[in-house]
Structure 1
Amino acid sequence: MFNGIINVYKEKGYTSHDVVAKLRGILKQKKIGHTGTLDPDATGVLPVCLGKATKLCDMLTDKDKTYEAVLLLGTTTDTEDMTGTVLESKEVTASKEEIITAIMQFIGEYDQIPPMYSALKVNGKKLYELAREGKVIERKPRKVWIHSIDILDVNYDTKEIRMTVSCSKGTYIRSLCRDIGEVLSCGGCMKSLVRTKVSRFVIEDSFKLEEIEALVKAENIEKHITAIDDMFTEYEAVIVDEKFNKLIYNGNAFHISNIIEKEDGIHTEYVRVYDSLGQFIGIYEYQLEEELFKPRKMFL
């Protein structure tokens, strides 16, 4: 069984669940999970967790992401992208400078109302399921953070703006496009979306499903799977003395005296813990006053 994270390039037409299902067949293992939904029409980076790394799914979902999107001004749809029904078309009267100013004002924290066509649940039912039934319900705005927006091109003839957006978890680029259109009083929707980065995973290093299948057949896939502990390189490594291996195998806390001595002490709140053989065990929290390491996420 493979354990780690593989950087998948999700192609157009696939759902994130489709990718997981196909990978289960390619890798011949069931324990696989994705790290955040990408719409079927969107493409790009989809980190997929394998084996023991499925415990990382929620942690990677929480990571910042970067997208390249095309905003189409003057068109409003029910899905907030081009897959939906056009609700309104308006003339775009704003100048190029006004468009840029409107876009840039979204940098920072803002309250975003998620789209009806989304996988968010209300009373146990997904919003898109309600939307397909013709129901529109009130959605509470959620705080999201737009770290940066880089405008790559403004095509005033086609009313298309190509931009790179770096943002927090829970941000809908479709809804950002909608909100920019509202500020400009002409409406707007998302024409296309490519996710270019999730945490450390970038599009240049991603693999299409057919490429992964070829790597498996060539028995060359392992070197393209990111090890679980490589996701925590910002934490110090701690190696437990051989006599205390059993303690950590059973998920117990252990004292600083149980580790192979670190001359300069412990400098991070969380640490990567390894047994005496160098096998990664999990993430522990270091309690300075008690000089105790307590388990937080076990991967053994």
Structure 2
Amino acid sequence: MARKRKGRDISGWLVVDKPAGITSTSVVNKVRWAFDARKAGHAGTLDPDATGVLAVALGEATKTVPYITDALKCYRFTVTFGAATTTDDAEGAVIESSDRRPSDEEIAAALPAFRGDILQVPPKFSAVKVAGERAYDLAREGEEIELEARPLWVESLEVISRPDADHVELEMVCGKGGYVRSIARDLGRALGCLGHVQSLRRTWSGPFEAEQGVSLELLDEHAKTEALDAYLLPLETGLAELPELKATAEGAARLKNGNPGMVLASDVEFGDEAWASYQGKAVAVGLYKAGELHPSRVFNQ
């Protein structure tokens, strides 16, 4: 007989304003502990030294994680010119340096090549898997690895400020799988001056914004109390990118059992992915076909 998992049966999203110096996994573990939740996961890893939006899903909300992972995200970051590092950020050892510094005009001229559909090679110190092992584990062991370029959609990449000749502050909006460290590395090489990330902050991720984020100090202060529940956002927040359909009473009952269920008429087209609600609660996600939703994920709320 399977052992029942301990913890509260609680579902929803918590936006954490992650501080520097802690891993995303550690933040998720802390959130799960603070809520005494049975299950938790996050939508999009942030490097340990990065700050900003880390959206953590609890309970049934973990089923909506893919929709946040796939959503656009916004990063504000500072690039330091003149040095390439092992990790493509300030934590790594300098492996190459340059005295050259680009002008504002040169930076502006270089940025269009990093917009739209691009190919990006992940940093060697990243969670990408190589023959079943994490690239950062192999890199720490001193192994020479060649990572394949991956497609990335960059919605926008703009200069925010130029504090001095050694630095530029940029803002990027991109899709799933973007590595800001790779942008800094490749921009530095394109400009002939080398570069790496000095600081990085995710300002929003899909429907979640940094202004909504709670601190780790607040988690500690209200841990395992009802006061913390007030900061939890509904499971449905994670479905903001999908159209909502209203299920009939009979349709909701069928959907809850994993069967196609009737939904009220909508402007979605045949074959579109959508989610069905009943009495304000998400029931299922699936494909809309001829007046019914065919579920791929069912929520037990």
What TM-score, normalized to structure 2? 0.89
Q: Helix, strand or coil: the match of 2:89?
A: coil
How far did residue 204 of structure 1 move? 1.1
Name the CA distance, whole Å, in 1 between partners of 2:191 and 2:281. 56
Q: Helix, strand or coil: the match of 1:45?
A: strand
Name the CA distance, whole Å, in 1 between partners of 2:164 and 2:149. 31
How far did residue 93 of structure 1 move? 4.1
- Residue 94 of structure 1 corresponds to 102
- Residue 200 of structure 1 corresponds to 207
- Residue 191 of structure 1 corresponds to 198
**1:173-222 residue CA offsets vs partner (Å, 9 max, x unmatched):** 10100001111111111111011110011111111122234455663333
Name the CA distance, whole Å, in 2 between partners of 1:23 and 1:138. 36
Matched, 1:280 2:287: no
How far did residue 79 of structure 1 move? 0.5
How far did residue 37 of structure 1 move? 1.1
- Residue 79 of structure 1 corresponds to 87
Paired residue type of 2:175: S
- In structure 2, stretches of 5+ residues that fail to align are 1-8
Name the CA distance, whole Å, in 1 between partners of 2:260 and 2:251. 11
Q: Helix, strand or coil: the match of 1:105?
A: helix
**1:130-182 residue CA offsets vs partner (Å, 9 max, x unmatched):** 0001112111111112111221111334x100111111111111010000111
Paired residue type of 2:287: E
What TM-score, normalized to structure 1? 0.89
Length, aligned pairs only: 288
Question: Is the 1:43–1:193 contact (alpha carbons within 8 Å) kept by the matching residues of 2?
Answer: yes
How far did residue 278 of structure 1 move? 5.0
Question: Is the 2:13–2:238 contact (alpha carbons within 8 Å) kept by the matching residues of 1?
Answer: no
Query: Structure 1 stretch 177-186 or stretch 231-240: which is displaced more?
Result: 231-240
Residues 237 and 212 of structure 1: CA distance in aligned 2, closer, same or farther (over 3 Å): farther
1:129-144 maps to which residues of 2 (within 5 A)?
Answer: 129-144=137-152
Which entry has the higher C-alpha Rg, 1 or 2? 1
Residues 279 and 102 of structure 1: CA distance in aligned 2, closer, same or farther (over 3 Å): closer
Residues 180 and 56 of structure 1: CA distance in aligned 2, closer, same or farther (over 3 Å): same
Residues 247 and 183 of structure 1: CA distance in aligned 2, closer, same or farther (over 3 Å): same
What RMSD in Å do the two structures reach over aligned CA positions? 1.9
Paired residue type of 1:266: S
Matched, 1:219 2:221: no
Name the CA distance, whole Å, in 2 between partners of 1:244 and 1:78. 55
Q: 1:105 aligns with which of 113, 116, 121?
A: 113
Q: Helix, strand or coil: the match of 2:227?
A: coil
Name the CA distance, whole Å, in 2 between partners of 1:192 and 1:88. 19
**1:1-23 residue CA offsets vs partner (Å, 9 max, x unmatched):** 32111111111111001101111
Q: 2:21 aligns with which of 13, 30, 34?
A: 13
Matched, 1:59 2:62: no
- Residue 161 of structure 1 corresponds to 168
Paired residue type of 1:184: L
- In structure 1, stretches of 5+ residues that fail to align are none
Name the CA distance, whole Å, in 2 between partners of 1:120 and 1:58. 18
Identity of aligned residues (%): 34
Name the CA distance, whole Å, in 1 between partners of 2:58 and 2:193. 45
Question: Is the 2:256–2:299 contact (alpha carbons within 8 Å) kept by the matching residues of 1?
Answer: no
How far did residue 279 of structure 1 move? 4.2
Q: Helix, strand or coil: the match of 2:49?
A: coil
Paired residue type of 1:282: A
Name the CA distance, whole Å, in 2 between partners of 1:230 and 1:274. 13
Name the CA distance, whole Å, in 2 between partners of 1:93 and 1:7. 38
Q: Helix, strand or coil: the match of 2:114?
A: coil
**1:91-139 residue CA offsets vs partner (Å, 9 max, x unmatched):** 1243221122223431212111111000010111000000001112111
Paired residue type of 1:294: H
